[in-house]
Every structure is written in C-alpha cells, then in structure tokens.
A = this chain, B = another copy of it.
Amino acid sequence: MAEIRIAWPDPEGQEIVERLFAADAALRAHFEQVTAAVGLTVPQAHTLIQLQEPQRMGTMAGHLHCEPSHVTAIADSLEAGGLLRREPDPDDRRAKRLVLTEAGQELRGRLLKLLFEGAPIISTLDAEQRAGLLAMLRMAQSGDGHRALRRFPAARGDDSCPPVPS
C-alpha cells in the first residue's frame, strides 16, 4: 500500500489514517517475508492458516474473501505440494473438505511460529501499551466488523462520474 501524504482537512485524522496504513504495510511485509521463507505464496499461506480444522471450500472462500473458483486454484497448488488433500464432505456429496496432511500441519505450525516472532507493532509494545492499543481498536471497530470486510461496495450513484482510461 502506498503512503498517504496529503493536505488533509484534519491533521489528526490524517495521521491516524497514515499510521493505520503504515501498520498494515508492516504487517503485510512481515507476512510476505515469513510466507516466502517457508516457500508459500500469500494466498497459499492464508489458506493453510485457516485450516486448523477441515473446511469446506465454499466456507474457505468466505474466509479468504474471494470467489470459490479461486479456492479451487489455491487448493490445487497446495494439494500438489502435498500440504492438504480434498476429502468428500460427509454431509453433502457435492462438497469437498480441505484437510491438512501431516506435512501441512507441520508447515502450518512453523508458519504461525515465524509469523508471531518479530511481528511488527506487537513486538515493539510492552504489555500495557498493547492492552491500550487493543482497547482503542475494539472501540473503533465495535459494530462495524462485518461491514468493514465487505469488498467493492457499490459506488454511490450521485458521486459517480465517467471513468478515466485504464
């Protein structure tokens, strides 16, 4: 994510946005680094992490905020790498559940360990600061958790204007 450095009507709001973006960029970079270090791409790693317990592919698509067809592709690669297998869902013969193999569980554990060690933001705060940050984030997010994660909400009609060539 690019830096946001602009003339803002509200300097404090501006700094919060900047720092939230920066915090995210740091988390993302850490995630990418760890992920690459164990030989996974970012979406592969996300999928692996979700698989503490077997998941149906559609459910996984929900967790990853992507289309089911994309889950098919990710699962293909992880299955080819021997990290998970597809097994039929006992309750619905159309559905398949993704299940970690031994190797998958082992790698998932290693991934989580690396992910937590040296995670930015968290590792630079002491216990009290972390508690404070957490309280703030809880307040800021109370009530809009699911709304916050929806992607590509429809544009507001009255603000629309013709697109620029891409």
List residues of A whose CB falls within 8 A of some B CB.
1-10, 12-13, 15-17, 19-29, 32-34, 36-41, 43-44, 46, 49-50, 52, 63-65, 77-78, 80-81, 83, 112-114, 116, 119-122, 124-125, 129-134, 136-145, 147-153, 155-156, 159-166
25 contacts between A and B (CB under 8 A): A1-B24, A1-B28, A2-B63, A4-B49, A6-B112, A8-B116, A9-B112, A12-B131, A13-B119, A16-B122, A19-B134, A21-B27, A25-B149, A26-B147, A26-B148, A33-B153, A36-B152, A39-B161, A41-B164, A81-B164, A122-B140, A124-B140, A124-B142, A124-B144, A129-B139
Give complex CA distance A39, B161 in Å.
6
Q: Which 9 A-B pairs have the closest CB atoms?
A: A81-B164, A26-B148, A24-B24, A19-B137, A39-B163, A133-B136, A37-B155, A37-B159, A80-B165
Cα separation A15 to B145 with both chains bound (whole Å)? 13
Q: Is the CB of A116 within 8 A of B21?
A: no
A23→B140 contact, CB < 8 A = yes
How many subunits of this chain does the assembly comprise? 2
Chain B residue nearest to A140 (CB atoms) is B121
A102 to B151, CA, bound (A): 32
With A21-B27, A27-B21 already in contact, the answer to whether A39 and B160 are too (CB < 8 A) is yes
Contacts of A125 in B (CB 8 A): 136, 139-140
Instruction: Compute how far the CA of A131 lies from the CA of B26 in the bound complex, rounded to whole angstroms.
Output: 22
